[in-house]
């Protein structure tokens, strides 16, 4: 896991979050643009994208993404592609080294390229590590 680099970020963040870098997770320009648009649409121009890994799906684990106002206690905060992404410590074990992309097509949406995923289901909605 990537070591925290200190608590040096934006005002809306509570004490106790940790900053990290793109070795934890990075976003493509297409994903950053989509997240920025969604944050503005929700009236949260300074918000963050939360990326989590939860149990579920046919392969056992799946990604969950939420837009929030800021990081929570113990979160890792990554500034990447002009947006802020937060990851909880447990999810960080699964997403380290991942890249988040956005595909604008009928079957598109947010896609995670995860080097830690051992297998994924045929629909691409879940994975195992």
DSSP state string for 36-84: HHHHHHTT-TT-EEEEEEEE-STTSEEEEEEEESSPPTT-EEEEETTEE
pTM: 0.81
Stronger pLDDT, 26 or 3, i.e. the higher one: 26
What φ, ψ does residue 52 adopt, rounded to 5°? -125, 160
Q: Quick one: pLDDT band at residue 107, thresholds 50, 70, 90?
A: confident
- DSSP-derived letter for residue 107 is T
Provide the pLDDT for residue 121.
65
Q: Which DSSP helix (H) or strand (E) runs through 30?
A: helix 29-41
- Mean local confidence (pLDDT), 92-98: 94
Provide the pLDDT for residue 2.
45
116 neighbors 97 (Cβ within 8 angstroms): yes
| Cα–Cα distance measured from residue 127 to residue 30, given in angstroms and rounded to the nearest whole number | 23
Sorted by where each begins, the domain ranges of the chain are 18-128
| Cα–Cα distance measured from residue 112 to residue 100, given in angstroms and rounded to the nearest whole number | 5
pLDDT above 60: residue 10: no
Provide the pLDDT for residue 27.
96
Q: Quick one: pLDDT band at residue 47, thresholds 50, 70, 90?
A: very high
How is domain 18-128 classified at the CATH fold level? Answer: Hypothetical Protein Aq_1857; Chain: A; (2.60.300)
77 neighbors 84 (Cβ within 8 angstroms): yes
85 neighbors 49 (Cβ within 8 angstroms): yes
Provide the pLDDT for residue 116.
83
């Amino acid at each position: 896991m990537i070591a925290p680099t200190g608590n040096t970020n934006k005002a809306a963040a509570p004490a106790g979050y940790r900053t990290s870098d793109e070795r934890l997770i990075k976003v493509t320009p297409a994903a950053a643009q989509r997240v920025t648009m969604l944050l503005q649409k929700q009236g949260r121009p300074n918000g963050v994208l939360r990326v989590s890994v939860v149990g579920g799906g046919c392969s056992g684990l799946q990604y969950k993404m939420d837009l929030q106002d800021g990081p929570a206690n113990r979160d890792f905060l990554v500034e990447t592609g002009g947006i802020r992404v937060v990851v909880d410590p447990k999810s960080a074990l699964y997403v380290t080294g991942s890249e988040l992309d956005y595909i604008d097509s009928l079957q598109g949406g947010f896609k995670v390229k995860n080097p830690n995923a051992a297998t994924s289901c045929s629909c691409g909605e879940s994975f195992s590590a």
